Amino acid sequence: MTRHWLAGDVAAAAAALTAGGLVAFPTETVYGLGADALSDRAIAALYAAKGRPSFNPLILHVADLAAAAALADLPEAALRLADAFWPGPLTLVAPLRAGTGVSSLALAGLPTVALRVPAHPLAQALLRAVGGPVAAPSANRSGKISPTRAAHVLVGLAGRIAGVIDGGACPVGVESTIIGFDPRGAVLLRPGGLAPEPIEALLGDRLHPAEAGAITAPGQLTSHYAPRAALRMNAAQVEPGEVLLGFGPVANATFNLSPTGDAEEAAANLFAALHMLDGQAARIAVSPIPDTGLGRAINDRLRRAAAPRPAGEGT
């Protein structure tokens, strides 16, 4: 049976996770599907529940910087970013320390580890109750739309997981920004819920693009976050048979991500809007969204949702 825990039940959810169970929980970005990062069996069950290709490494969630620094050798630039932006929607990739006991299945055999300290109070409460690293990809079946409500989690995963902690809607709404480090400096592996501009301002340097062919971040599988409906970006007008996912002051939107053109509001609404419109139409047109601030992450997710699907996927 899949449990639906409320905010007061975090201790029960933590016990289920510590016993090897899969527990979905809210973060400020999206709901994560948590598993004990020290347990190969729990991680194997996590990949199976998501239907995820096991070569895709997971983000480990910890309660604070001290716990992160115990797992990875964080370079100086990572420490500065952590200091400024943790807890928050930022993931840092750095070399794994020896002897941590982290499941190599969770890391897909890589010598590096992706670490995040989420700010959401229920995520913090869960991590403190568990006391060790929690591996947590977004709590959706692989390739499907990410969940920003407990109900989205249950649509995809009921019967496959121990339960979900219900924290209502996720305030940021798109996954964390992932930053790695190479000899050039900081590398943007995935645009996400922390806009690139404040990161560049803090570092006093631009974020470098990920090298083609390197181990980059998410949904490197080009088709990802895929609704069943076909999606057309930068739509100046609506064609027959389409519904409009609007942005800014446009007429005839079936749903408007932000009538005032605010990218933060749009990010918070994005996945819930895709979940909703997906049930209503075969074709979704999306208004143009400026590619700055959180617009970077929104356009990245829309591009993947619009990408042609391999046969058998996205259906």
Per CB under 6 A, residues contacting ligand TXA are: 27, 29-30, 32, 56-59, 91, 93, 110, 112-114, 116, 136-138, 175-176, 178, 180, 189, 215, 217-218
Nearer residue to ligand TXA within complex by CB, 218 or 314: 218
For residues 24-57, one letter each, b for 16 or more C-beta atoms within 10 angstroms of the residue's C-beta and e for the rest, the string is bbbbbbbbbbbbbbbbeebbebbbebbebebebb
Nearest to 222 by CA among 284, 313, 309: 309
Both tokens of 198, joined, read 């404040």
With CB atoms as reference, the residue minimizing the distance to Mg ion is 138
Nearer residue to ligand TXA within complex by CB, 60 or 253: 60
93 binds, among Mg ion, ligand TXA, none (CB under 5 to 8 A by kind): ligand TXA
189 binds, among Mg ion, ligand TXA, none (CB under 5 to 8 A by kind): ligand TXA
Per residue, what are the HEC states of 217-248? CCCCCCCCCCCCCEEECCCCCCCCCEEEEECC
DSSP 206: P
Nearer residue to ligand TXA within complex by CB, 59 or 263: 59
Least distance (Å) between residue 192 CB and ligand TXA: 6
Least distance (Å) between residue 139 CB and ligand TXA: 7
> Beta partners for 286?
245
Total residues at the site for Mg ion (CB under 5 A)?
Answer: 1
Which residue type, as a one-letter code, is found at position 155? V
Nearer residue to ligand TXA within complex by CB, 26 or 261: 26
Count of residues making up the chain: 315
Nearer residue to ligand TXA within complex by CB, 161 or 281: 161
Residue 137 · residue 33 · CB < 8 Å = yes
Quick one: CA torsion of 261, 306, 114, 23, rounded to 10 degrees? 90
Residue 6 · residue 166 · CB < 8 Å = yes
217 binds, among ligand TXA, Mg ion, none (CB under 5 to 8 A by kind): ligand TXA
Nearer residue to ligand TXA within complex by CB, 189 or 244: 189
Nearer residue to ligand TXA within complex by CB, 246 or 314: 314
Nearest to 58 by CA among 133, 150, 160: 133
Least distance (Å) between residue 260 CB and ligand TXA: 25
The Cα 283–Cα 229 span in angstroms is 5
Least distance (Å) between residue 203 CB and Mg ion: 26
116 binds, among ligand TXA, Mg ion, none (CB under 5 to 8 A by kind): ligand TXA
* Residue 299 sits in the site that holds Mg ion (CB under 5 A): no
Least distance (Å) between residue 112 CB and ligand TXA: 4
Looking at 7-15, 101-109, 130-138, 189-197, which segment touches Mg ion (CB under 5 A)? 130-138
Both tokens of 60, joined, read 């480990």
Least distance (Å) between residue 174 CB and Mg ion: 10
Least distance (Å) between residue 139 CB and Mg ion: 9
Q: If DSSP codes are grouped into helix, strand and coil, which group holds residue 185?
A: strand
Place of tokens 């989420």: 118
* Residue 138 sits in the site that holds Mg ion (CB under 5 A): yes
Helix crossing, 295-306 with 263-278: angle to 10°?
20
Nearer residue to ligand TXA within complex by CB, 79 or 230: 79
Name the residues that contact Mg ion, by CB under 5 A. Answer: 138
